[in-house]
Amino acid sequence: MKHVALITGAGRGIGLGIAECLAKDGKDIVVCDVHEESVVAEAMAGLRKLGAEVLYCRADVTDAMARKTMLEQIKAKFGRLNVLVNNAGVAPKVRADILEATEESFERLIRINLQGPYFLTQAVANWMIEMKKADPAFAGCIINISSVSSTVASVTRGDYCISKAGVSMATLLYAARLGEYDLPVYEIRPGIIKTDMTSAVTAKYDKLIGEGLLLQSRWGHPSDIGRAAAMLARGDLAYSTGQVIMVDGGQTIHRL
Sequence ranges of the domains in the chain = 4-247
C-alpha–C-alpha distance, residues 93 and 101, integer Å: 11
pLDDT of residue 31 exceeding 90, the answer is yes
pLDDT of residue 251 exceeding 90, the answer is yes
HSE toward the beta carbon, residue 8, CA cutoff 13 A: 29
Segment 215-234 mean pLDDT: 98
Q: What percent of the chain has pLDDT over 70?
A: 100
Segment 10-19 mean pLDDT: 97
> pLDDT-derived band of residue 198, with 50, 70 and 90 as boundaries?
confident
* Mean pLDDT computed over every residue of the chain: 97
In sign, the C-alpha dihedral spanning 238, 117, 69, 48 is negative
Q: Which CATH topology does 4-247 take?
A: Rossmann fold (3.40.50)
State the pTM of this model.
0.97
* pLDDT confidence of residue 197: 80
The answer to whether residues 231 and 143 touch, using CB atoms and an 8 Å cutoff, is no
pLDDT of residue 179 exceeding 90, the answer is yes
* pLDDT confidence of residue 193: 96
pLDDT of residue 256 exceeding 90, the answer is no
* pLDDT confidence of residue 108: 98
Q: Which entry of 56, 160, 174, 186 is annotated as an active-site residue?
A: 160
Active-site annotation holds for 174:
no
DSSP annotation of 114: I
C-alpha–C-alpha distance, residues 139 and 58, integer Å: 26
Give the DSSP H or E segment for 8.
strand 4-8
User: What CA–CA distances, in Å, run from 132 to 27, 82, 116, 139, 214?
Assistant: 19, 10, 24, 8, 42
* pLDDT confidence of residue 128: 98
Give the closest residue to 7 by CA, choosing from 48, 61, 50. Answer: 61
Segment 98-103 mean pLDDT: 98
pLDDT of residue 71 exceeding 90, the answer is yes
Of 68-82, 88-102, 130-144, 190-204, the poorest mean pLDDT is in: 190-204
* pLDDT confidence of residue 201: 82
